[in-house]
Structure 1
Amino acid sequence: MPIPAKAFQRWLHGIAPDASTSDVCRAAGIKRSTLAQQLVRGKVAGATVVSVSRAYNINPVTALAGFDDFRQLAGPPLQPTRSELVSQISTADLLRALLLRGVAEPGGPGESGGGAAGVPLAGRPDPGPTVLVPPPHATSVRDWVEAIDDGELRHRVSTATGIAPQNYSAQLTANRLTPELALATALAAGVAASGGLVATGLITEAEAGWPPGARQAALDTMTDGELTTLAGERLQTLGRALRRQEHDQERTDKIWENLG
């Protein structure tokens, strides 16, 4: 979602009145040519505001909320739902959690004799420290939308934004959403506006106001059945994507072979 260049320059003058463009770019790790091009075009990327905010120790959410197109971010932050938190846990971390729990096969020790199957990890002995990979992960955008979709979400987003459903689906398949669509999706679902920006990688979970360890806490509340089902669904999706890639590669190889 581009920000008007004039609005950006007013904001920048307010936080760094004595800094030159070179100073700002150096502090934010942005190429001067990149910022110059955005200013000439009259549209500054939200990612630029985020980078500059971090350089000057300003919460990016607070900075973005000051611009009209991001005003949805203003006000006290809503907390993410359990499903949203779990959606931002990578497939590898879900599988690792299964191994740490030692989930038994049906009929095994965990299913009988007072075993722990079906009991959240929070109610068991500590299996040891784990470190979850921070979002975004390889399917974070698609998983976030699926976590908040009530079956009609895509239709509501399409109606509200005018984006064709197939174009919206294409972005999800590619695991990306523009900030505009991420905010529209959150609004249509009635969840925290910042959740989609975390899923897309524009801001971090801490910047969004998520409590420390919130994703791990959500993971710990999942039963073995919930965790196994979710991990299985993720693996099936990954398998389909890999098969498509392999099929496309085979077709490409055949084309090159025919071309000699």
Structure 2
Amino acid sequence: MPLPAKAFQHWLNRAAPGFSTAEICRVSGIKRSTLAQQLVRGKVAAATVVGISRGLGRSPLDDLASFEKYADLRGKRPPTPAELVSQVATMDLLRAVVARSGPAHRSSRAVDAPEAPAVFSPAPHPTSVRNWVDAVDDGELRHRVAAATGIAPQNFSAQLTANRLSPELTLATARAAGVGFTGGLVATGLITEAEAGWDPAAKQSAVASLSDGELVTLAGERLQTLGKALHRQEQELAQTQKIWENLG
């Protein structure tokens, strides 16, 4: 969801008074040419605001919320347990399954001792966007998002397959699902879990609350999805190789 250049300039004057363009680009890691192009077009990317805010040591979430288009972010609703689990990478889920099946885990269950906390990699992961949408989807979510935004369902699905979602669609999806807005922004990688205000142990707690059957079922579904993706990649590679062979 691009931001008006004028509103961006007003925000930048408040956030970094006295900073030159060169200094802003240096602290944020944004190329001067990139920032200049966005200003000329009159549309500044949300990622630009996040990068500058992060570079200045400010809160990217609060700074985004200061813009009218992102005003919904002011109501910081925590992610649901399903959203948290969706941001656990598949390999981390598999490790959790293995840990649950080990003798140490069975012993701790026997004496009702707390589980040792797992260390999960931060979001996003290769299927974080699709997983997040699936976690908040009641079966009609895609249709509601399409109706609200005008995006064709196949274009929405294409973004999910590519594990990306524009900020505009992310907020529209969260709004249509009736959940908070940080889950989608974390899933897309626009902000980090810490910037979203998530408890560092939130994902671990969400996974720990799953029964053994729920955890194994979820891991199996993830593996099946991963297998299909790898199979498609192998077919595409084989087709590409065949084309090159035919070209000689």
TM-score range, shorter chain: over 0.9
Q: Identify unmatched segments of 5+ residues in structure 1.
A: 105-109
Higher helix share: 2
The whole-number CA distance in structure 2 between the counterparts of 1:150 and 1:223 is 22
Equivalent runs, 1:181-192 vs 2, <5 Å: 181-192=169-180
Equivalent runs, 1:36-47 vs 2, <5 Å: 36-47=36-47
Q: Which residue of 2 aligns with 1:29?
A: 29
The whole-number CA distance in structure 2 between the counterparts of 1:30 and 1:149 is 35
Q: Which residue of 2 aligns with 1:165?
A: 153
Secondary structure class of the residue paired with 1:26: helix
Q: Which residue of 2 aligns with 1:176?
A: 164
TM-score for the superposition, normalised by structure 1: 0.90
The whole-number CA distance in structure 2 between the counterparts of 1:252 and 1:238 is 21
Q: Which residue of 1 aligns with 2:86?
A: 87
1:214 to 202, 225, 247: 202
Q: Aligned-pair RMSD on alpha carbons?
A: 1.8
Say whether 1:241 aligns with 2:229.
yes
Q: 1:154/1:164 Cα in 2 relative to 1: closer, same or farther (>3 Å)?
A: same
The whole-number CA distance in structure 1 between the counterparts of 2:170 and 2:145 is 10
Q: Does the CA-based 8 Å contact 1:103-1:224 persist in structure 2?
A: no
Shift of 1:129: 4.7
Ranges of 4+ aligned residues in structure 1 off by more than 6 Å: none
The whole-number CA distance in structure 2 between the counterparts of 1:248 and 1:30 is 35
The whole-number CA distance in structure 2 between the counterparts of 1:3 and 1:97 is 41
Q: Identify unmatched segments of 5+ residues in structure 2.
A: none
The whole-number CA distance in structure 2 between the counterparts of 1:124 and 1:246 is 45
1:130 to 115, 118, 123: 118
Shift of 1:124: 4.6
The whole-number CA distance in structure 1 between the counterparts of 2:113 and 2:101 is 12
The whole-number CA distance in structure 1 between the counterparts of 2:85 and 2:122 is 12
TM-score for the superposition, normalised by structure 2: 0.94
The whole-number CA distance in structure 1 between the counterparts of 2:14 and 2:233 is 49
Shift of 1:57: 2.0
Give CA deviations for 1:79-122 in whole Å, capped at 9, x if unaligned.
Answer: 11100000000000000111111169xxxxx9xxxx68xx7x9x
Shift of 1:212: 2.2
The whole-number CA distance in structure 2 between the counterparts of 1:25 and 1:12 is 12
The whole-number CA distance in structure 1 between the counterparts of 2:245 and 2:54 is 51
Say whether 1:5 aligns with 2:2.
no
Secondary structure class of the residue paired with 2:172: helix
Q: Which residue of 2 aligns with 1:97?
A: 96
The whole-number CA distance in structure 2 between the counterparts of 1:29 and 1:243 is 37
The whole-number CA distance in structure 1 between the counterparts of 2:51 and 2:35 is 11
Q: Does the CA-based 8 Å contact 1:29-1:51 persist in structure 2?
A: yes
The whole-number CA distance in structure 2 between the counterparts of 1:140 and 1:91 is 10
The whole-number CA distance in structure 2 between the counterparts of 1:81 and 1:179 is 20
The whole-number CA distance in structure 2 between the counterparts of 1:226 and 1:124 is 21
Say whether 1:205 aligns with 2:204.
no
Percent identity over the alignment is 64
More displaced, 225-234 or 64-73?
64-73
Q: How many aligned positions are there?
A: 245
Q: Does the CA-based 8 Å contact 2:61-2:196 persist in structure 1?
A: yes
More displaced, 221-230 or 53-62?
53-62
Q: Which residue of 1 aligns with 2:64?
A: 64
The whole-number CA distance in structure 1 between the counterparts of 2:79 and 2:219 is 21
Q: Which residue of 1 aligns with 2:183?
A: 195
The whole-number CA distance in structure 2 between the counterparts of 1:55 and 1:30 is 10
Shift of 1:43: 0.8
Q: Which residue of 1 aligns with 2:53?
A: 53
Secondary structure class of the residue paired with 1:138: coil
Say whether 1:147 aligns with 2:135.
yes
